[in-house]
Amino acid sequence: MQGNTVLGPGHAAAVVRVEGTRKGLALTTDCNPRYMRIDPRRGAAQAVAEAARNIACVGAEPIAVTDCLNFGNPEKPTVAWQLTEAVEGMAEACRALCIPIVSGNVSLYNETGGRAIPPTPTIGMVGLLEDVSLAVPTGFRPGCALVLLGGSVPDVGSRRRATPGTTPARARGAAPAVLGPVHIRRRAGRRHRGICAAGRYWCHTYGRRPAGDRAVLRGPGPRDCDMSTRGGWDGPLTC
């Protein structure tokens, strides 16, 4: 963007310079319609929480939200319920994180052959870096340590059956918990939608490490947990 891009697509969030200052703006958009199909309220809250984590992972402080509410025909009770629940979930998460919604828009009546699209409340979030030179890129580099911030429990964590267990109270602590370590200028990456293994692969990909790396990740839960869990595991990860 006019030569002001610091971090482009592929990082946890994009970062641009604010001309004439040392500041930078971080931007991200997030949503997972699969979560929304299962639980619109929690799915919308998850989108807000994920956006906040992405902003924090590049070293920025989340400061504002905009939304784009994409739904089917609100004259149908099911869609009206989805829309109401999504708005409530977004509001709950934004209050917990103390981030204002400053703008937004809606796109309704999105149907084909009478079948609605999945409820898709897309969250756009902007964050502020006081010193853009401290923006943190995504991806592993030699000497990086892999650290899990927060709790972990042995459950399916919403692959296809249920949404993850993040609550507004847990989300409230996520961004500050990430920002502390990030400010010592290490690489950061979100735990990718409930799967530590997928998040690790994501960091390998954007860290431009050679393919073929193989690692064993061990967690505190049962040894028979599948790699798709958010809890314990003992299995290989091949990138």
- Which pLDDT score, from 0 to 100, does residue 224 have? 40
CATH for 152: 3.30.1330.10
Q: Is the pLDDT of residue 140 over 60?
A: yes
In a domain, 48, yes or no: yes
In a domain, 199, yes or no: no
In a domain, 206, yes or no: no
In a domain, 234, yes or no: no
Q: What is the pLDDT of residues 148-190, one digit of tens each?
A: 666 655 555 445 445 455 555 555 544 554 455 454 444 444 4
- Which pLDDT score, from 0 to 100, does residue 143 have? 72
What domain range includes position 38?
5-192
Map the chain to HEC letters: CCCCEEECECECCEEEECCCCCCEEEEEEECCHHHHHHCHHHHHHHHHHHHHHHHHHCCCEEEEEEEEEECCCCCCHHHHHHHHHHHHHHHHHHHHHCCCEEEEEEECCCEECCEECCCEEEEEEEEEECCHHHCCCCCCCCCCCCCCCCCCCCCCCCCCCCCCCCCHHHHHHHHHHHHHHHCCCCCCCCCHHHCHHHHHHHHHHHCCCCCCCEEEEECCCCCCCCCCCCCCCEEEEEC
Q: What is the pLDDT of residues 199-209, one digit of tens each?
A: 544 455 455 55
pTM assigned to the model: 0.70
In a domain, 136, yes or no: yes
Mean pLDDT lowest among 14-28, 71-85, 184-198 = 184-198
Higher pLDDT, 185 or 55: 55
Domain count, the chain: 1
- Which pLDDT score, from 0 to 100, does residue 7 have? 85
In a domain, 223, yes or no: no
